[in-house]
């Protein structure tokens, strides 16, 4: 078994590398569930349906004018862009998830006694391609 540290994760949204500003990312894959139970059964029977998913990314706010999270993500709210997530970092053969996402929300949080943070909610807009990174 090989444990993997999260510090090497790479995250890109709409072609912009947000790794330097990101502290947490999460992808959730889901599927529709259809009840196909018929008469005479003593328990529900289900079939799967369409795939679905969502994601979140969040981190520490950076005021860098053209590359910080505010500058990159704010204009993307309400649009569909490509998300690339490499949970083990970049490298041939390492896992990679690529999916088009609808950027549904951008949030900034300003606590009085801590750093400003940001978060972003994403809705998958098609199938996720989970494969090894190419050479």
CATH number at residue 76: 2.40.30
Structural domain includes residue 99: yes
Structural domain includes residue 2: no
Question: CA-to-CA distance for 68 and 64, rounded, in angstroms?
Answer: 5
Using the predicted structure, report yes or no on whether residue 1 has a pLDDT greater than 80.
no
Q: Tell me how crowded residue 122 is: count the other CB atoms within 10 A of its CB.
A: 26
Structural domain includes residue 94: yes
Structural domain includes residue 54: yes
Domain count, the chain: 1
Structural domain includes residue 36: no
Structural domain includes residue 78: yes
Question: CA-to-CA distance for 135 and 130, rounded, in angstroms?
Answer: 15
Alpha helix positions (H), the chain: 69-73
Q: What global pTM score does this model have?
A: 0.91
Structural domain includes residue 41: no
Domain residue limits at 124: 7-29+46-132
Over the stretch 40-85, which tens digit does the pLDDT of each residue have? 999 999 999 999 999 999 999 998 878 899 999 999 999 999 999 9
Structural domain includes residue 57: yes
């Amino acid at each position: 078994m090989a444990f993997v540290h999260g510090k090497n994760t790479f995250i890109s949204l709409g072609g912009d590398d947000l790794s330097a500003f990101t502290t947490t990312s999460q992808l959730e894959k889901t599927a529709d569930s259809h009840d196909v139970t018929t008469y005479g059964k003593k328990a529900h029977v289900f079939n799967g349906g369409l795939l679905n998913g969502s994601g979140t990314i969040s981190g520490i706010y950076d005021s860098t004018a053209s590359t910080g999270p505010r500058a990159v993500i704010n204009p993307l709210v309400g649009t569909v862009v490509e998300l690339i997530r490499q949970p083990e970092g970049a490298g041939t053969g390492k896992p990679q998830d690529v999916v088009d996402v609808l950027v549904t929300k951008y949030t900034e949080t300003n606590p009085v006694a801590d750093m400003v943070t940001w978060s972003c909610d994403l809705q998958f807009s098609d199938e996720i391609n989970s494969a090894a990174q190419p050479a």
